[in-house]
Amino acid sequence: MRNKPIANVNADLLKERKNCSFDIEELTNLIDGGKNQTARRREIENMLLKNMPFDIIPEECLSAKEKYENAVRKSVALNKIGVELVSQVTKAKELSDLTLTLRRVSDAYFREVTPFLLHLGMFIPTILGQCSDEQVAHWLPLAMQLKIIGTYAQTELGHGTFIRGLETTATYDERTEEFVLNSPTLSSSKWWAGGLGKTANHCIVVAQLYTKGECYGTHPFIVQIRDMDTHMPLKGLKVGEIGPRLGFQTADNGFLVFDNFRIPRDSLMMKHAKVLKDGTYVKIARHSKLTYGTMIFVRVLLVSEMAFNLSKAVTIAVRYSAVRRQSELKPNEPEPQVLDYLTQQHKLFISISTVYAFQFTSNWLMKTYHTVQANMKHGNTDALPELHALSSCLKAICTSDCSAAIEQCRFACGGHGYMISSNLPSLYAFTTATRTYEGDYTVLLLQTARFLVKTWEQVELGNAVTPMVAYLARHQNREAWDESPEGIIRAFEAIAAGVYQTESVRSVSFGQSDAIKDVMKQLSDLYLLYWSLERTGDLLTTLKSTLGSYDGRVYERLMEEALKSPLNQEPVNESFHNEPEPQVMDFVSQQHKLFIGIASYYSYSMTALWLWDILTKVTSELGVGKTDRLPESHGRAVFMSVFNSEMEKSVSSLSAPLQAVLRQLVELYLYYWTLEKRGDLLLVLQSTLGSYDGRVYERLMEEALKNPPNKEPVNESFHKYLKPFIQGKL
Ligand SMILES: CCCCCCCCCC/C=C\CCCCCCCC(=O)SCCNC(=O)CCNC(=O)[C@H](O)C(C)(C)COP(=O)(O)OP(=O)(O)OC[C@H]1O[C@@H](n2cnc3c(N)ncnc32)[C@H](O)[C@@H]1OP(=O)(O)O
Ligand SMILES: Cc1cc2nc3c(=O)[nH]c(=O)nc-3n(C[C@H](O)[C@H](O)[C@H](O)COP(=O)(O)OP(=O)(O)OC[C@H]3O[C@@H](n4cnc5c(N)ncnc54)[C@H](O)[C@@H]3O)c2cc1C
């Protein structure tokens, strides 16, 4: 399909392609993983092109409800083909290649994401990773053939990061051999699960397991949540869509609240722990964190997801930069392509290199993941902590870098890059979420730091550490290395850079032509040089700080530095004899403090008047006394208003300079209290998160309930597409 010549190609693009120093097909094969894989991908693309419904109206022009229904329509058509293709596969490797190809190609049909993303990305992997063999045999075929549609509900209104703090309870009732699910508080409402709002009929629920009066911590349960025929939510639970968000608009992220909702005993996913009929808890896992396994898997997946998303963004930006011409550099000559500007290349080339850094590292990380999994099957969990640390830091960095790089690509496309139709805003909205979900950036980096500190302790004790962190031992020389946060950050940057360089060299060392090797080498060098320049500060061996020295001799160093000061080279400065002492007003730093205050005063006085209107409105709308701060605000408002109007009346007979000073006093009063009481004014922020009273969860839930998709219990796309599809009638 793509290798056929296309008519009417822009002349500048053609020229750029002709200038290419290597065979594009060869690089395509490298990216796909070989010639056969390229051929297979094209075959699947052609099949989808023939069979997939395209958008008639662009997705972005539809209402939220229409967007969702359109996404279901396309997902069902795509999954029909996917299920058919999967059923023809016999080998595990073929299945993983096919899944990856489908994942990549399917993206072409969605501006946003499919409501089935969680089914594919987390529901199926959790069945594989958390179910006993018998449970896998039951659930996996149903899930693979999409007879059931699932999602993964771990996060709650009150907790996403701190999993041990989840509040949903699953209490075993040995009389009926059931677990009883409850959401004891508002903050325990499940929140965020993709596909939960409208699409899924099953859900993995992570809850605190109680049996025989004891709590055994969080465990995953597989739970049916909607009737398979009517799609109505089952009795004992409340489920809905959480409301509009930055991206993921077609993923129907949902909430779920349990009220004594009963599920059979074998709903507990029993690979790592089980509860016997009589309620006895049996631990099977050799490592307490194996129930977190799906998260590790998805973090590994996300590295390649980021490579893919950035590759799309940078392809868009590079092609457009070849087409776009701007500014007359020489009179009567054509304007140059923006791609020719060095500053434009600076924006784009690092993204290209980053794509390859991510993709090579991702291939390596996935192999490492499978090796660790294979070892764990034989009971060896030794490598799990390192895999957790590695997947955490690589996930954190690549998601963060990827969304920043996509923003650069958007900047590189000027105003047109801001159009939804450029796809750059959607790519950004999708990738910036990845920095938060599946483990927040900071939190995951802290997990890695924890591992590195522990490893460092082992190095200090002279114990052996794994090859990946062996460089810590090599760098025991204090001059080159230290255990400061900067040192730790430097350490994991070294890991990432090291993997990229070795993996890219290994991947291009056979088969590939010299031309490809040259380009890969250049990209690799660019990546390393770019980041060493970006992080020059971290790479400095001394911190140039009296306070941060390794040996902690803070006071000695402060004194040594003080003694070096030129002022200390003479016992009495000549100004003592000759110059008058300056007024503090003459110090620039003092003027800075004062003049900013004066300038701010003028600008804020305008703002204060504006805020005043709002404050009055808020006070009257909410009613005095509704919160304990409102009476105070009211009193303050009366003072302000009386002072303002009374002063105005009385100053008219005074001289102009005095009038001006008194007016300034009024404004100062308003300004002072506006700043002092800005917390109260937050009432105008229109934010569920930033309200003055801090009723965050209540407001999130209130807003979610106002959400139009929640006005109908079952969306019509269920009857039109989902039901016929699930029942094999489509
Ligand atoms: C037709 C088309 C075809 C399509 C094909 C399908 C392909 C689809 C691909 C799509 C790709 C992706 C899409 C996915 C979409 C996902 C959407 C988002 C989903 C979610 O967000 S789900 C929710 C995720 N939530 C989180 O990630 C929560 C983050 N929090 C945590 O992970 C943990 O709570 C914690 C921060 C790690 C802390 O945990 P805890 O308090 O229990 O632990 P401690 O800090 O006290 O540490 C104790 C000890 O445990 C070690 N440890 C922690 N975690 C792990 C782990 N995961 N594994 C191993 N060990 C772990 C930690 O290191 C400590 O060890 P130590 O004591 O130091 O030895
Ligand atoms: C688009 C999207 C889709 C999602 N899909 C799902 C889904 O399908 N299923 C699901 O279960 N969840 C899902 N989530 C939820 C997601 O996993 C959580 O939002 C994520 O894990 C972060 O947790 P949090 O929201 O509680 O953030 P918080 O932990 O509240 O983070 C807030 C701030 O506190 C900081 N912080 C928190 N803890 C610490 C700490 N220990 N040390 C230092 N700083 C800290 C963070 O760095 C951050 O700056 C989704 C989220 C999004 C945005």
168-200 residue pLDDT tens: 999 999 999 999 999 999 999 999 999 999 999
Max CA distance (Å), the chain:
101
- Which range in 107-116, 155-164, 315-324, 605-614 is most confidently predicted, on average pLDDT? 155-164
Any ligand 1 atom below 6 A from CB of 384:
yes
Distance CA 451, CA 462 (A): 17
Strand partners, 191: 255
CB 391 within 8 A of CB 292: no
Pocket test for ligand 1, best of 120, 289, 381, 441 (most atoms within 8 A of CB): 289
* Residue 532 pLDDT level (bands cut at 50, 70, 90): low
Q: What is the residue type of 50?
A: K
- Residues annotated in a binding site for FAD: 155, 194
Question: Domain residue spans in the chain?
Answer: 30-111, 117-284, 603-730
**CA neighbor of 288 nearest in space, from 220, 381, 395, 393:** 381
From the CA of 440, how far away is ligand 1's center (Å)?
10
User: For residue 190, what are its two tokens?
Assistant: 């499940």
Average pLDDT over residues 672-699: 62
The CA distances from residue 80 to 69, 87, 113, 375, 647, in Å, are 17, 11, 17, 35, 76
Average pLDDT, rounded, for the chain: 82
pLDDT given at position 611: 47
pLDDT of residue 618: 47
User: Distance between CA 136 and CA 434 in Å, rounded?
Assistant: 28
Q: How far is the CA of 574 from the centre of ligand 2 (A)?
A: 61
Measured from the CB, is residue 436 less than 6 Å from ligand 2? yes
Question: In a 10 Å sphere around its CB, with 0-12 CB exposed, 13-18 middle and 19+ buried, how is residue 205 labelled?
Answer: buried
The counts of H helices and E strands in the chain are 26, 11
Residue 608 has pLDDT above 60, yes or no: no
DSSP string of 258-275?
ESSEEEEGGGB--SSEEE
Strand-strand pairing, 169-173 and 202-211: parallel
C-beta of 443 in contact with ligand 1 (< 6 A): yes
Average pLDDT, stretch 551-579?
70
Say whether pLDDT at 594 is over 60: no
Q: Under 8 Å CB-to-CB from 249, ≥6 apart: which residues? A: 64, 67, 112
Measured CA to CA, the distance from residue 564 to residue 541 in angstroms comes to: 22
Instruction: Please report the pLDDT score of residue 623 as a whole number.
Output: 42
Interval between CA 161 and ligand 2 midpoint (Å): 5
Q: What is the DSSP string of 166-227?
A: ---EEEEETTTTEEEEE--SGGGSEEEETTTTTT-SEEEEEEEEEETTEEEEEEEEEEE-B-
Residue of 204, 443, 445, 450 to test ligand 2 pocket, by largest number of atoms within 8 Å of CB? 443
Sign, CA torsion 248/249/252/254 = positive
- Side-chain-side CA neighbours of residue 401 (13 Å): 26
Q: Percentage of the chain with pLDDT > 70?
A: 76
| pLDDT value for 441 | 93
At 338-353, the pLDDT tens digits run 999 999 998 999 999 9
Q: Which of 438, 441, 457 maximizes ligand 1 atoms within 8 Å of its Cβ, making it the mutation to test the pocket?
A: 438
Cα(665) to centroid(ligand 1), Å: 57
Tokens (6 digits) for 390: 């590695």
- Distance (angstroms) between ligand 1 centre and the Cα of 163 equals 9
Q: What pLDDT, in 10s, does the model give residues 623-674? A: 433 333 445 555 556 656 666 666 676 677 778 887 777 676 666 666 666 6
**What positions carry a catalytic annotation?**
438
Atom of ligand 2 nearest to the CA of 159: 26
> What is d(CA 31, CA 668) in angstroms, rounded to the nearest whole number?
64
CA distance 483 to 84: 54
Annotated binding site: 155, 194
First to last CA, the chain: 28
Lowest pLDDT segment from 114-118, 366-370, 609-613 = 609-613
CA of 438 to the centre of ligand 1 (A): 6
- Determine if ligand 2 sits within 6 Å of the CB of residue 404: no
pTM for this predicted structure: 0.79
Q: Up-side HSE of residue 302: CA atoms within 13 Å toward CB? A: 32
Beta-carbon contacts of 385 under 8 Å, excluding residues fewer than 6 positions away, are 451
Q: Which residue has the higher pLDDT, 680 or 100?
A: 100
Nearest to 535 by CA among 476, 501, 494, 478: 494
28 has a pLDDT exceeding 50? yes
Q: Which residue has the higher pLDDT, 622 or 564?
A: 564
Nearest to 26 by CA among 515, 359, 356, 509: 515
Predicted pLDDT of residue 625 = 34
- Average the pLDDT over each of 452-466, 631-645, 699-713 and give the range with the smallest value: 631-645
> Phi/psi at 51 (nearest 5 deg)?
-110, -15
Predicted local distance difference test score (pLDDT) of residue 601 = 47
CATH class entry, domain 30-111: mainly alpha
Mean of the pLDDT values across residues 692-712?
81
Indicate if ligand 2 lies below 6 Å from the C-beta of 193.
Answer: yes
Q: Which of 372, 354, 314 is nearest to 497 (CA)?
A: 354
Nearest atom in ligand 1 to 78's CA = 1
Are the beta carbons of 349 and 526 closer than 8 angstroms?
A: yes
450 lines ligand 2 (CB under 6 A): no
Is residue 530 in contact with ligand 2, taking CB distance under 6 Å?
A: no
Of the two residues 575 and 178, the one the predictor is more confident about is 178
Q: Would you say the CB of residue 472 lies under 6 angstroms from ligand 1?
A: no
Q: How far is the CA of 693 from the centre of ligand 2 (A)?
A: 22
Same fold, 30-111 and 117-284: no
> Comparing 673 with 522, which gets the higher pLDDT?
522
Identify the band that residue 160 occupies on the pLDDT scale cut at 50, 70 and 90: very high
Place of tokens 């403090």: 593
**Pairing between strand 169-173 and 178-182?**
antiparallel
Does residue 181 contact residue 153 with C-beta atoms inside 8 Å?
A: no
Token pair, residue 187, equals 């903050």
Q: Which atom of ligand 2 is nearest to the CA of 122?
A: 8
Q: What is the mean pLDDT of residues 240-244?
A: 90
- What would the pLDDT profile of 465-486 be if each residue is shown by its tens digit? 888 887 777 655 443 444 455 5
Kindly indicate the confidence band of residue 62, based on its pLDDT and cuts at 50, 70 and 90.
Answer: confident
Superfamily (CATH) of domain 117-284:
Butyryl-CoA Dehydrogenase, subunit A, domain 2 (2.40.110.10)
pLDDT tens per residue, range 350-380: 999 999 999 989 999 999 999 999 999 888 9
Protein residue closest via CA to atom 29 of ligand 1: 439
Residue located nearest, by CA, to atom 52 of ligand 1: 289
Residue 132 or 666, more confident: 132
Q: Say yes or no: CB of residue 97 within 6 Å of ligand 1.
A: no
pLDDT of residue 470: 79
Question: pLDDT tens digits, residue range 387-430?
Answer: 999 999 999 999 999 999 999 999 999 988 888 888 899 999 99
